[in-house]
Amino acid sequence: MLPIVLIFLIVLFILGYINIPFLPIRDIELFNLLGKTISVYDLAVFLFILWIIDLLPWPFRGLAGVILVLWLLSFFGIIAISGFSHILLLGLIIGVIAYLFRGFIAK
């Protein structure tokens, strides 16, 4: 299951930087919330982070929950961390790779 999560993370990370003409995931606006436009990409990242939080064991689940709250605060402009969704996805990619390698080494 974790390799599938890793593949989805990498795809979301790449789609955040590259604009593919036939797949404009960053340009499709869904709705406005608190003066911020929510796109399909933002919703996909949010739902994916919730899915990862559900899959992780306890210590990592708590850390991912704190990071999710920080991301939401920066997304709505309460704290100023520009590009935090990209930083978050990159951190999750590195974390899942480290978790996979730790699991392979322990076996």
pLDDT bracket for residue 54 (50, 70, 90): confident
Provide mean pLDDT across the span 73-78: 82
**DSSP labels for 26-94?**
TT-EEEEETTEEEEHHHHHHHHHHHHHHHHS-HHHHHHHHHHHHHHHHHHTTSS--TTHHHHHHHHHHH
Percentage of the chain exceeding pLDDT 70:
95
In the predicted model, is pLDDT for residue 95 greater than 70? yes
CA angle 77, 83, 86 (to 5 degrees): 130
pLDDT bracket for residue 59 (50, 70, 90): confident
Supply the pLDDT for residue 103: 66
Supply the pLDDT for residue 105: 61
pLDDT bracket for residue 60 (50, 70, 90): confident
Supply the pLDDT for residue 106: 53
pLDDT bracket for residue 107 (50, 70, 90): low
Domain spans in the chain, listed from the N-terminal domain onward: 2-106
